[in-house]
Structure 1
């Protein structure tokens, strides 16, 4: 059940219960009392037969029943405290594990979220943690209590007859082999169960988020088959664990029963030769029988332990992931906002080709720079590098002369507002979404930000105004309304650096004109990086940088680039003819 690797894993899991040492001490005391009460029951039966029934000792007529009742009362009280306190400890530890996992998720780099599916990460908290919880709540109590009980009963059996007890213990190596073999089989199947559950959660999330596309493209049957295949795999691995566990327990019980039968036969022969008193014979058989249930529980708990250990492996896999790098210590008193890329190189993880090589660009302070280029030219990657979602693989990026890696990460991001085309809103009120990440914000400031983003005009018409709950990811709002709330969030932050990645892509022409007026005001005295969207926004930029395959092809003002009649002019002409964005 517990090889070296499992012991190491379980010890690490148990670290989460160490803060509750007082409760652990009370629980262990209760478990010891329970273990001692088992051989005490067998001893009382011995005295009951030898002293009360055979010797007819009048003192034992009252004492033995009282002792028997006392044993069960003490055992019941100890059992109550052991269950309540062990659950208290386990659930507190599980709370700590979940909190640690969620903290870890918040500290992971952007690249980790790209390599792990959301469903897989969710499965670690929703499925793996409860599996580990069973190993922390039921398993350790059963292992300690029943191991102590078996030890106490074996010690009593040795006291009665060490020869017969050693004979009974001959089966111990065989039982250990069976349990070890079953443990390995169940661990492998349990690992597969974790993977299947992660995949199922991922597919479920995709199916719920993409329900419109599924219906439009008639992919219902395809999605049902995908989900069914994963569910079948989970079922097979679950049944594998069940089959091994179901076979494991009877095998151990059969071996124990055979040993018991042999020992009872020999004990009866010894009793016939007056080597045992009747009370000792009954007590010995009773003590042997009492070992059956704890051995059965110890064998059965193996399934719970192996599932818990497989879950613990998955949990610690997450907790052991490296945090987002934050080795910088510099903090600015004030930021001008000049951003310089020097000999920048960047390659995405597992990519064959570099996105940027020897890339150089200066984004002037308190000016608006528009990044223009066809899909795949590197526009969004530059924005992500500025926000430090990725780190350069070569060269460096500086802000006001300081390498970004030398700036304290949280301080750096406090001075950046990022409006993405991938709008994220929360199932909360409009006020909470606009003031997201900021506490105790005056409502007047929230209203002012909403007005600048031209969101106030629809907010004030809602029955509950700013207190309106907007549903999951803002589903109760239109696309343009969601985008304006996202813009209002950036306006409220009022950061010296503003990154806008297709930030007005969902706005109609009238809404964009209103937002553009507010953006013209917002752009004053701050550094703005615009990723090419509608032409009117690009025309007003202080400089336009045209990218192609990670290289700067053209750079200048709108009018100059049109005169140059290069790639920008071509893109501009196509955009004007089609009415589409660049």
Structure 2
């Protein structure tokens, strides 16, 4: 059951309950009391037979029933405290594990976060943690209580007759071998179950977020089949664990029963030869019978332990991922927003092609720079590198002459406001979404930002105005309204660098004109980077950068690039400013 890897995992898992040493001590005392009461039952029965029934000792007529009742009362009280305290300790540990996992998720590097995927990360918290919780609550209590119980009972059996007890223990190595084999089989199946559960959560998350696309493309049956296949695989692995566990328990019990039968036969022969008193014979058989239930529980708990260890392995795999590096220590006073790319090279993980290759560009402070190019040209990669969602493989990116690698990461991101094509809103009020991450802003500042983004006109008509809840990802708002809330959030941040990644793509012409006017105001004394395909945005930029396959091909203003009759001119004529 406990190989070296399992012991290492379990020790680490138990580290989460170490802060509660006093409660652990009380729980262990309760478990020790429960274990001691098991042989005490056999001892009382021995005296009951020998003293009360055979010797007719009048003092024992009252004492023995009282002792028997006292044993069960003490055992019941100890069981209550062990169960309540162990569960409380386990739940506190689960709270700590979930907090650590959530903290880790907030600080994962962008690339690792993407490689896991939302569904798998959700599964780790929703499925893996409860599995590990069972190993922290039910499992360790049973392991300690029943192990102590078996030790106490065997010690009592050795006291009565060590020869018979050694005969009974012959089956021990066989039982250990069976449990070890079952543990390995269940661990492998449990690991497969963790993967299946991650895939199932991923399928569910995809189908719920893409339900409109599923309906419009008539893909209901396709998604049903994918979900069913994953669920069936999960079922198969679950049944594999169940079958191994179901075979493991009765097999151990059969072996124990065979040993018990042999021992009872020998004990009866010894009793017939007056080597045992009737009370000792009854006590010995009772103590042997009492070992059955703890052996059964220890064998059954193997399934819980293996599932918990597989879950713990999955949890610690996440927790052991490196945090997003924050090696920078410098800050800037009054950042102007000038950006320079010097011989920057970058490739995404597992990609065979460079996203940026020997890229050189200066984005002047206080000016608007538009990035133009077809899909895959590297426009969004520039944004990912500026924000340090990814770090360049080589070369330098400078902010006001300072290498961004040397800037404190939080400070760097404070200088940037990002509005992307994929708007992210939270299930909260309008005010909370606009002031997201900046709860210190007062309502006047929020209203000003909303007006600047031309969002106030619809906000004030909402049932509770700024205090209206907008639902999951703002699904109670229209696309254009959601976009304007996101832009208002960027306005409120008041950062020197503004990045608009297709920020007006969800707006109709009238709404876009509102945003363009707001952007014209916002551009003053700020560095604006625009990724867009609408000509109204690109034509007004101070500088247009044309990219292709991760390289800078052309740059200049709209008139200069048209006169150059190069790639920009071809894109302009073909209207191919796509992302």
TM-score band, normalised by the shorter chain?
Answer: over 0.9
Show the 5 A alignment for 1:138-537.
138-537=138-537
User: What is the CA-CA distance between 1:340 and the residue it aligns to?
Assistant: 0.9
CA contact (8 A) 2:34 2:79 kept: yes
Q: For the Cα contact (< 8 Å) 1:30–1:78, is it kept in 2?
A: yes
Residue segments in structure 2 that go unaligned for 5+ positions in a row: none
Q: Could you say which residue in structure 2 is the equivalent of 1:28?
A: 28
Q: Distance in 2 between matches of 1:127 and 1:351?
A: 32
Q: After TM superposition, give the deviation of residue 92 of structure 1 in Å.
A: 0.4
CA distance in 2, matches of 1:205, 1:355: 29
Tell me how far apart the structure 1 counterparts of residues 394 and 503 of structure 2 sit (CA, whole Å): 29
- Determine the C-alpha separation between the residues in 1 that align with 2:482 and 2:569: 32
Conserved? CA contact 1:355–1:378, under 8 Å = yes
**In structure 2, what is the Cα distance between the partners aligned to 1:19 and 1:539?**
63
Instruction: Spell out, residue by residue over 1:133-152, the C-alpha distance to the aligned partner (whole angstroms, 9 max, x if none).
Output: 11111000000000000000
Report the Cα distance in structure 1 between the residues aligned to 2:399 and 2:228, rounded to whole angstroms: 52
**2-structure distance, mates of 1:581, 1:85:** 61
* Contact 2:337/2:496 (<8 A) preserved: yes
Alpha-carbon distance in structure 1 between the residues aligned to 2:184 and 2:476: 50
Residue of structure 1 in register with 2:134 after alignment: 134
Deviation digits for residues 480-501 of structure 1, max 9, x if unmatched?
1111111000000001111110
In 2, Cα distance between the equivalents of 1:139 and 1:334?
A: 58
Q: What do the CA deviations read for 1:77-121 (whole angstroms, capped 9, x no partner)?
A: 000000000000000000100110010000001111221121111
Q: SS where residue 337 of structure 2 aligns?
A: coil
Deviation at 1:342, TM superposition (A): 0.9
Retained in 1: the 8 A contact 2:374–2:578? no
Per the TM alignment, residue 389 of structure 1 is displaced from its structure 2 partner at its CA by 0.6
CA distance in 1, matches of 2:65, 2:438: 69
1:131/1:308 contact within 8 Å kept: yes
Cα displacement (A) at 1:166:
0.4
Deviations 1:519-572 (A, max 9, x none): 111111111111133212222222111111111111111221122122112222
Contact 1:435 1:489 (C-alpha < 8 Å) held by counterparts: yes
Q: Which moved more, 1:401-410 or 1:342-351?
A: 401-410
Contact 1:200/1:230 (CA < 8 Å) preserved in 2?
yes
Against the structure 1 CA distance between its residues 268 and 435, is the aligned structure 2 distance closer, same or farther, given a 3 Å change threshold? Answer: same
Aligned counterparts of 1:532 and 1:567: Cα–Cα separation in 2: 16
1:46 paired to 2:46 = yes
CA drift of 1:581 comes to 6.4
What is the rounded CA distance, in whole Å, between the counterparts of 2:353 and 2:218 in structure 1? 36
SS in structure 1 at match of 2:417? strand
Query: Cα offset for 1:394?
Result: 1.0
Q: Output one character per residue of 1:321-361: Cα deviation in whole Å (capped at 9) or x when no partner.
A: 11111111112222111111111000110011111121111
The aligned residue for residue 13 of structure 1 is 13
CA distance in structure 2 between the aligned counterparts of 1:397 and 1:423, rounded to whole angstroms: 27
Decide whether the 8 Å contact of 1:535 with 1:581 is kept in 2: no
More moved, 359-368 vs 84-93: 359-368
1:83 maps to which residue?
83
SS of residue in 1 equivalent to 2:547? strand
Q: Secondary structure, in 3 states, of the residue corresponding to 1:362? A: strand
Mapped contact 1:373–1:532 kept (Cα < 8 A): no
What is the aligned partner in structure 2 of residue 63 from structure 1? 63
Distance between the aligned counterparts of 2:117 and 2:527, measured in 1?
34
- Are the aligned partners of 2:375 and 2:578 in contact in 1 as well (CA < 8 Å)? no
Shift of the 453–160 alpha-carbon distance from structure 1 to 2, 3 Å rule, reads: same
Residues 426-482 of structure 1, C-alpha deviations (whole Å, 9 max, x = no match): 111111111111113201111110100001011111121111111111111111111
Q: Is the 8 A contact 2:432 2:439 kept in 1?
A: no
Q: Which residue of 1 aligns with 2:540?
A: 540
Q: Secondary structure at the match of 1:470?
A: coil
Report the Cα distance in structure 2 between the residues aligned to 1:436 and 1:400, rounded to whole angstroms.
Answer: 27
**Cα distance in 2 for residues equivalent to 1:264 and 1:44:** 20
State the SS of the aligned residue for 1:349.
coil
Q: Secondary structure at 1:121's aligned position in 2?
A: helix
Structure 1 residue matching 2:291: 3-state secondary structure: helix
Q: Is the partner of 2:82 in helix, strand or coil?
A: helix
Tell me the alpha carbon deviations over residues 231-258 of structure 1, each in whole angstroms, 9 at most, x when there is no partner.
1111111111111100000000001011
TM-score (structure 2 length as normaliser): 0.98
